[in-house]
Amino acid sequence: MMVRKRYLRNCLLMMLLFAVMITGCYSNSNTNGTSSNSNQAKSVKNNTIKEYKLVPNGAPELAGGPENKNRNTQPLTLEELRKKYRSNFHFSGPSTPPRVALTFDDAPDQLFTPRVLDVLKEYKVKATFFVVGNRAQKHPDIINRIVKEGHILGNHTYNHPNLAKVSNTVFQREVSDTQQTIKKLTGKTMRYLRPPYGNITEEQIKWLVSKNISIVNWNVDSLDWKGLNAEQVLANVMGDVTAGAIVLQHSAGGEGEDLSGTVQALPQIIKQLRNQGIELVTVPELLKKPAYK
């Protein structure tokens, strides 16, 4: 009788031990395992579980959202564009030898352009004129005088729009129509373009480069378009000019613009630069590149 009780007790203990082992294994399985049938994934951080959705490719979604909703691509600044396209986008030239290029925008007209040409002829200075196509069409005689007296022509578009605000189609037509106009009048194919207001986009630069046209802005601004007097124009130019500079002035303007200050200041600008040992040259001479294509 005693043996039987001992036997039953041992059996009971073994059954209890077996039950404990089974329970431990089941617990470990639930802790370490994952459910493959779940429609949502879970991440554990700081003992908290955060649920997230899956994107169509099966990966967890990005917390901040997709790239196309977060990337804010800004166009490059003019300075950044100049650095990126330094071989084709010029604000100035080399500082040696000591040279400066005088440039005149918005020509031709019948009032100020001839007076600027008269001063340049008197002082035997060659300059660069960035001409507007429809004005060249209107005043072919002045365009021919510019070329005959040894100055260089550059493209300043046909209608003088703000290029950063027009379509690529309009931009290309503005440039091409001016090229064709000057070609018909002079037989020359211009190699340089100055965008009106100095504004241009990267896509436009790429197109110009493909056409072997370089962009020329400036690093000295006379601000003559403000209707300044001769003393003010002279101060603006001589206060900033250094060897290698490209100086912006105008030999024609918009409605109501008075450029008498530029005409009157020009002799003093020429004299003072020469007194400093600076040679006055055209843009192609300054950049050491051909004048026309």
221 carries an active-site annotation: no
Residue in 230, 212, 202 with CA at minimum distance from that of residue 290: 212
The reported pLDDT for the residue numbered 21 is 54
What's the pLDDT at 5? 52
Any residues with CB less than 8 A from the CB of 111 and at least 6 apart, and which? 252
> What was the pLDDT predicted at 20?
47
- Residue 174: in which H helix or E strand, if any? helix 168-186
Best CA proximity match to 246, nearest among 104, 76, 85, 147: 104
The HSE-up count of residue 45 (CA atoms within 13 Å, CB side) is 5
Q: Which of 75-89, 151-165, 247-261, 274-288 is predicted least confidently?
A: 75-89
Dihedral over alpha carbons 88, 94, 99, 102 (to 10 degrees): 30
As a whole number of angstroms, the distance between CA 124 and CA 104 comes to: 16
Q: Which residue did the predictor score with more confidence, 200 or 49? A: 200
198: left (phi over 0), alpha (psi -120 to 50) or beta: left
Band of pLDDT at residue 29, cut at 50, 70 and 90: very low
Which one is catalytic: 90, 151, 156, 250? 250
**pLDDT band (50, 70, 90) for residue 52:** low
Inter-residue contact 155 to 178 (CB < 8 Å): yes
**Is the pLDDT reported for residue 111 higher than 90?**
yes
The helix (run of H) or strand (run of E) holding residue 161 is none
Is the pLDDT at 8 greater than 90? The verdict is no
Q: Among 19-28, 134-143, 195-204, 245-254, whose mean pLDDT is lowest?
A: 19-28
pLDDT(230) > 70:
yes
pLDDT classification of 25: cutoffs 50, 70, 90: very low
Is 173 exposed, middle or buried (CB count within 10 Å of its CB: 0-12, 13-18, 19+)? middle
240 annotated active-site: no
CB 270 within 8 A of CB 238: no
Residue of 105, 106, 109, 224 marked active site? 105
Q: Which two tokens stand for residue 158?
A: 């046909």
> How far is the C-alpha of 176 from the C-alpha of 236, rounded, in Å?
34
| 62: its two tokens | 């990005």
Whether the pLDDT of residue 13 is over 90: the answer is no
pTM of the model: 0.77
